[in-house]
Structure 1
């Protein structure tokens, strides 16, 4: 699997983390453009000066929010790898654990669609900082799935990874729009695409 970014070694600022947690909750639940900076500041209990000490503006806060979401998904992959290593499972089992983790994420954390797709809809400039973070995440996601599929000796790892990305997108959007759990459908179809069933 491609490496996760190195852990931060600088001292964590509690007001910054509170601001980021609040922005993450509000941006995901209500949309980025629907939530003003004043509301984020009020709910986080921090001043505008504190925000500007950590983020030069709202767009930088949005970038940090998406980086936080990226770290959450990377953590899902790391947890699957840890579980596979602890249980001494093989590469095909790891692929199955990743599929299960992606499905679980859609029912536990990301019940309002994909945060990266949602952000892209609100920030149409493909060259802007927000879309750059989205592109980096999606490139990492696809590359990591390709690496796992390669390890699992799937016949066409790149095509399998591309199909899994599409299935995840469809699951996240479909479960939100349809108001029902489609994770079971995702698991079944993803396992078939990966040749696990």
Structure 2
């Protein structure tokens, strides 16, 4: 699920590298990836140009690390959310609650993955691969939950939830967060209503 800039998963990272990644997270998410140049990142993170290139080599490498680190953090939060629920059924409803919370957070600026995809339209770009893998990982977890609750078509149902999830993040950012969160929860509830009576 979308979260605040991932800091806690990078405690073993060299301080200067961490500052650069934190600066990238802040600037990329608020201003866009292509709009922020290397000089701005260097200034924001209070490092030298030599230090920047020592740790990342290029802005392109930084962009990939930024997205990869964000993905790892979001997936770790999702896994934690699932583990703390009493059942797969409860976990699916908890995901709807998490999306609601994200969309109503004052710090929500839209999904960084969706915004990055818009800036990198070429499907062959490494950035798009990271974004695709991130969403496929979420879909895989949802499919597993649906399988465990006994949904007759867990893969298809997971596709429905992923479309609703990405749509909620987009509409919640550019339009109506209340309507977006309600629509996503109703989609989750409709999918759960498709379970066999015995489930």
Residue of structure 1 in register with 2:59 after alignment: 58
1:50 Cα offset (Å): 1.3
1:34 Cα offset (Å): 1.2
Residue of structure 2 in register with 1:194 after alignment: 192
Secondary structure of the structure 1 residue equivalent to 2:108: coil
1:32 Cα offset (Å): 0.5
Residue of structure 2 in register with 1:113 after alignment: 110
Aligned residues: 186
Residue of structure 1 in register with 2:69 after alignment: 68
Which of 157, 173, 177 is matched with 2:170 structurally? Answer: 173
Return closer, same or farther for 1:98/1:64 CA change in 2, 3 Å cut-off.
same
Structure 2 residue ranges without an equivalent (≥5): 1-8
Secondary structure of the structure 1 residue equivalent to 2:104: helix
TM-score normalized by the length of structure 1? 0.84
1:169 Cα offset (Å): 0.9
User: Please, what is the CA RMSD of the aligned residues?
Assistant: 2.3
Return closer, same or farther for 1:10/1:125 CA change in 2, 3 Å cut-off.
same
Structure 1 residue ranges without an equivalent (≥5): 1-7
Residue of structure 2 in register with 1:122 after alignment: 119
1:10 Cα offset (Å): 9.7
1:76–1:101 contact (8 Å) kept in structure 2: no
Residue of structure 1 in register with 2:83 after alignment: 82
1:103 Cα offset (Å): 3.1
Residue of structure 1 in register with 2:98 after alignment: 101
| Structure 2 Cα separation of the partners of residues 190 and 57 of structure 1 | 41
